[in-house]
Structure 1
Amino acid sequence: MEQEPMIEENKSNPNSWMIIFADLLALLLTFFVLMFSMSSVQVSEWQALVTSLSENLNPERAKIDDYDWNKIDEALILEETGMNLDYLKNVFEDKMSRNAILSRSTVTVLDDRLAISLPSDLIFELGQAELEPDARAAMIELGETLRTIDNEIMVVGHSDLSPISGRFYPTNWELSLVRAILISRLIKTGGYEGPIEAYGNGSSRFSELDESIPLDQRYNLARRVDVIVLQKKRN
């Protein structure tokens, strides 16, 4: 009996190429995953990229940044300085030595300022803010000396620790402030044309005095009015 030929078994599968293609895709995916796992992202470079994109894609932020940089440029402008403080110290000491009241004042150069310390017992009665005619004339004379400089000036009143009470000056702070304002006005009367800031410190700076000095002398030093000449040039 004659055997029938096997026709369908030897015929190749037409979709077999898809198996090979799937294997290739799997290999490629494995390769890329392996490459990515071996790489590292630089945080600084990534942050720079994010910042650059956010600035270029956000116009409002760019405007703010420009404005801030302009402010920084303004802050970097150096302040104009007035006359040399060491030179002024010599000038003031020479001119003040000719006045009986001003000659007992002290002139001290600090880092960025010069302090003319006026003992209040020379110009004010204890607990008062009125000046005698001679003291008033001396303050105007001081103003005549200060009018020739272009430095900024402020006046600061001080007091000792003794409590004070009264209708006009209930505390040392009010008394020291009124005295500073009065001296400021007399300096302006003498011809100083710039603005003058006046402050009252009361007894808040008493602890800064040298404790090795006897207490009664520290009280005398505390009762004063400081005329401060700053290194900065006045507007």
Structure 2
Amino acid sequence: MVQKRMSRKRRKPDDINPNSWMDTYADTITLLLTFFILLYSFSTTDNEKLKLIAAALKGQITGIPMKLEDVPDIEDEEKEQGIGEKSPYQILLEDIQEIIDKNGLTDTVKIREEDAGVVLQLSESILFDLGKADLKADSTPVLEVISGLIPAIENEIMVQGHTDNIPISSGTYKSNWELSTSRAVNVVKYFIETKGFDPTRFSATGYGEYRPLVDNATEENRAINRRVDILIVQQKEIVKE
């Protein structure tokens, strides 16, 4: 009976809030959301806004308010690191395009970019008569303009002849292979024999009908495929060990 009458100490309610983890969780989610919003803003904002964001972030990290002028210009940093600078290949491409435009040859000489380099695409009708490989007199002005490019560059130059898929019926050339090769050779001979350029820089190749730009289904497409490509080979960077 004594034991029953003994007063029992009541336990104090637990001071730990079982839901307190939600506050930390909510803060973490908010920080992550802010982080991803900043990442998105980096890809869409201009340089001035990026500087403002950078100033705010540095101020939060260091505890010292940052002024906008104290933050280095992002574009200047990229220039110092070589980011955004034009490569020699890009400069070459722009120079060629400028010369072609200035001489009114935009519709005559097409410029293509390939992994191997810059291609000057000349239609058959500019250089040759149908089924023949002798350069026409009308081709001289175009070749003169292209010749003006060559002394300014050191790149290798590959002249490539192409035809459509119609079998040739000429007695001089037994196949499109021979016709395309002869055309490429005659263009190279113009650069070497007429213009006096170093022959070691040139090569001539005939591909016949086997490297078309478009399907040979129509006459218009076949005319596109009958061409001479002058490839200015992109110089490979030498990796120093």
Structure 1 length-normalised TM? 0.56
Aligned partner of residue 232 in structure 1, secondary structure? coil
Aligned partner of residue 94 in structure 2, secondary structure? helix
Distance 2:178 2:102 in 1: 32
Aligned partner of 1:225 in structure 2 is: 228
Contact (CA 8 Å) 2:131, 2:170: kept in 1 or not?
A: no
How many residue pairs end up in the alignment?
A: 148
Structure 2 runs not aligned, ≥5 long: 1-86, 237-241
Contact (CA 8 Å) 1:143, 1:186: kept in 2 or not?
A: no
After superposing on structure 2, the runs of 4+ consecutive aligned residues of structure 1 that deviate more than 6 Å are: none
Q: Counterpart amino acid of 1:224?
A: R
Distance 1:136 1:210 in 2: 27
Distance 1:102 1:190 in 2: 23
Indicate whether 1:150 and 2:183 are aligned: no
Distance 1:119 1:221 in 2: 7
Aligned residue among 208, 221, 234 for 1:202: 208
Residue 131 of structure 1 deviates from its aligned partner by: 2.2
Residue 123 of structure 1 deviates from its aligned partner by: 1.6
Q: Counterpart amino acid of 2:132?
A: Q
Structure 1 runs not aligned, ≥5 long: 1-82
Q: Counterpart amino acid of 1:229?
A: I
Residue 108 of structure 1 deviates from its aligned partner by: 1.3
Aligned-residue RMSD, C-alpha: 2.3
User: For each residue in 1:142-162, what CA deviation from the matched residue of structure 2 results, as whole angstroms up to 9, or x when unmatched?
Assistant: 122112100111110000011
Aligned partner of residue 229 in structure 1, secondary structure? strand
Distance 1:110 1:187 in 2: 23
Contact (CA 8 Å) 1:84, 1:231: kept in 2 or not?
A: no
Moved more, 182-191 or 194-203: 182-191
Structure 2 length-normalised TM? 0.55
Distance 2:221 2:116 in 1: 25
Distance 1:126 1:96 in 2: 25
Distance 1:153 1:128 in 2: 23
Distance 1:139 1:102 in 2: 14
Contact (CA 8 Å) 1:124, 1:131: kept in 2 or not?
A: yes
Residue 105 of structure 1 deviates from its aligned partner by: 1.3
